Structure 1
Amino acid sequence: MTDVATPDSNSWPDERSAPAPQDDQVDDTSAEPDTAWRTRRTLDAEATDETVLGAWLGAGLDDAAPDADALPTPAEPVDWRTLSADDARTEWQSLDTFVRWLRTTYGLPPAILPPLWHRHPELVWELSALHTHWLACYEPGSSGSGPIAWHADFADARERLREWVSTSGTHADRDRPTRISTWPGEPPTPSGEERPILDRDADFAAFVEADVQARHSTHEAVHPVDTPIAQRHAPGGS
């Protein structure tokens, strides 16, 4: 089974289809993602070429430790349960940009990457891990074998995404919250109603704003696993 969808089946609701490239145009889909989602990279190219290299060479020559501020900061995983409101807003935008690049670059169909992935925590955690893994593999100074390792792990991630999407209840044109089984002694978990997806971008913006406001209002250092990120109900839902 191939992961590549036809152009007609690979558009999200209220999204314009990209025009097909002309014969004299270069297909640039293999270019690396927009740098907007590299917000957790704290070292730019100039610092890598000059400051860091100089610090490393200097340390080797005079046995002095390099400046800690000049060393690259490795990509770190995102714990969505503990993010502050401001950090959450930044990470949501960063992850969304990465997911958009991932979908269009690799032609991922809704069966693997649906429009409302942000409302399903199992998809959020998987995609966030894939994002961090990409950053680690493509950081300056990373191993040359990093990219091929990322693609190998990406193949495994696609299979997990496909399985979760098939049981989550989300589709290209409609969505419902992922159903959670009730254990003995627990109160029933509301299943949530299926609803059509009319405008994916508007839904994402509303979702992020609600998540940020929830984090502001709780003022907790560590959020319980069931709030707010694990609650992916539609606005107004219970």
Structure 2
Amino acid sequence: MNSEQPPQGVPEPDVDGTDFGDLPPGVEKKTREFAKQAYASDLAAALGQVPRPINWRALPPSDLEHELLELNGWVDWLRHTYGLPAQVVPPMWHRHPELLWELSALKQHWLFCFDPQAKGNQALAWHHDFQVARERLRDWVTISGTRLDRDRPTRITVWPGGEADGWTEPSTAEAPVTERTKDFLAFVEEQVKARTAEQDATIREIVNIDWSEQS
């Protein structure tokens, strides 16, 4: 007897709780087969997606927007779940690349450790690394100068004769934090527009090179 088939006279269990008992026998069999295939395909797709590190410098505009929104939602969950103070995760973390990259790495690590196929000890591994990451986040926040109620861009040490042509030192003026969500959405819009402009410039450069080689 095929071990995958139910014993004779015993009704085959429904797929995902769906009742196929009222269907005609021929239609019922085909429906069950189709439902099983769809369920197996969806399950394989869900289990087969391994979280990868996010390279924020290389994301196209649409992916950049999506990942920023996803990260913002996860960081919001993280700070509420673990009661993180602003000394670890400040409201304006998105305005500081060092914090964005650190939190992004922590999120991807969390996705990997809590994947349905992860080993049972991966949750402990993540919490161990989370403890280490919190100390790094404290250092980043201290260096950057961002606080719960005020924020200023992270200072960049200018190298004499070591900066690119046209590079200007960013402002380090301090500003109060009053509308955090509004500022985050404005930040996303700014980043997407800037990345779109970079992408368009790259495309134009490629097209111009291609035309110059043909002429």
In the other structure, the counterpart of 2:83 is 107
Could you tell me which amino acid in structure 1 is paired with residue 169 of structure 2? T
The one-character-per-residue Cα deviations of 1:35-78 (angstroms, maximum 9, x if unpaired) are xxxxxxxxxxx99xx527998xxxxxxxxxxxxx6861210110
For 1:88 and 1:143, locate their aligned partners in 2 and report how far apart those are by CA, in whole Å: 30
Native 8 Å contact 2:86 2:148 kept in 1: yes
Instruction: Indicate the percent of aligned positions where both proteins have the same amino acid.
Output: 51
Q: Which has the higher contact order (CA 8 A, sep 6+)?
A: 1
For 2:85 and 2:144, locate their aligned partners in 1 and report how far apart those are by CA, in whole Å: 15
1:169 equivalent to 2:140? Answer: no
For 1:135 and 1:78, locate their aligned partners in 2 and report how far apart those are by CA, in whole Å: 12
For 1:131 and 1:95, locate their aligned partners in 2 and report how far apart those are by CA, in whole Å: 7
For 2:106 and 2:194, locate their aligned partners in 1 and report how far apart those are by CA, in whole Å: 26
In the other structure, the counterpart of 1:183 is 159
Native 8 Å contact 2:95 2:153 kept in 1: yes
In the other structure, the counterpart of 1:85 is 61
What TM-score do the two structures reach when normalised by structure 1?
Answer: 0.63
1:94 equivalent to 2:70? Answer: yes
In the other structure, the counterpart of 1:51 is 40
Shift of residue 160, structure 1, vs aligned partner: 0.2
Gap change, CA 1:77 and 1:220, over 3 Å in 2: farther
For 1:91 and 1:54, locate their aligned partners in 2 and report how far apart those are by CA, in whole Å: 23
Gap change, CA 1:172 and 1:70, over 3 Å in 2: closer
Native 8 Å contact 1:82 1:221 kept in 2: no
Could you tell me which amino acid in structure 2 is paired with residue 174 of structure 1? R
Could you tell me which amino acid in structure 2 is paired with residue 140 of structure 1? P
Q: Secondary structure at the match of 1:89?
A: helix
For 1:112 and 1:78, locate their aligned partners in 2 and report how far apart those are by CA, in whole Å: 21
Query: Could you tell which deviates more after superposition, 125-134 or 212-221?
Result: 212-221
Q: Secondary structure at the match of 1:193?
A: coil
Native 8 Å contact 2:144 2:154 kept in 1: yes
In the other structure, the counterpart of 1:75 is 51
For 1:210 and 1:71, locate their aligned partners in 2 and report how far apart those are by CA, in whole Å: 34
Gap change, CA 1:143 and 1:208, over 3 Å in 2: same
Gap change, CA 1:152 and 1:141, over 3 Å in 2: same
In the other structure, the counterpart of 2:172 is 192
1:152 equivalent to 2:141? Answer: no
For 1:54 and 1:151, locate their aligned partners in 2 and report how far apart those are by CA, in whole Å: 27
The one-character-per-residue Cα deviations of 1:89-129 (angstroms, maximum 9, x if unpaired) are 10001000000000000000000000000000000000000
Say which of 102, 108, 116 aligns to 1:140.
116
- Structure 1 stretches of 5 or more lacking a match? 1-45, 56-68, 223-238
Q: Secondary structure at the match of 1:213?
A: helix
Shift of residue 184, structure 1, vs aligned partner: 2.5
Q: Secondary structure at the match of 1:128?
A: helix
Count matched residues.
163
In the other structure, the counterpart of 2:184 is 204
**Rg: which structure is higher?**
2
More helix by share: 2
Query: Could you tell which deviates more after superposition, 158-167 or 180-189?
Result: 180-189
For 1:80 and 1:214, locate their aligned partners in 2 and report how far apart those are by CA, in whole Å: 13
Could you tell me which amino acid in structure 1 is paired with residue 71 of structure 2? L
Native 8 Å contact 2:93 2:99 kept in 1: yes
Shift of residue 218, structure 1, vs aligned partner: 1.3
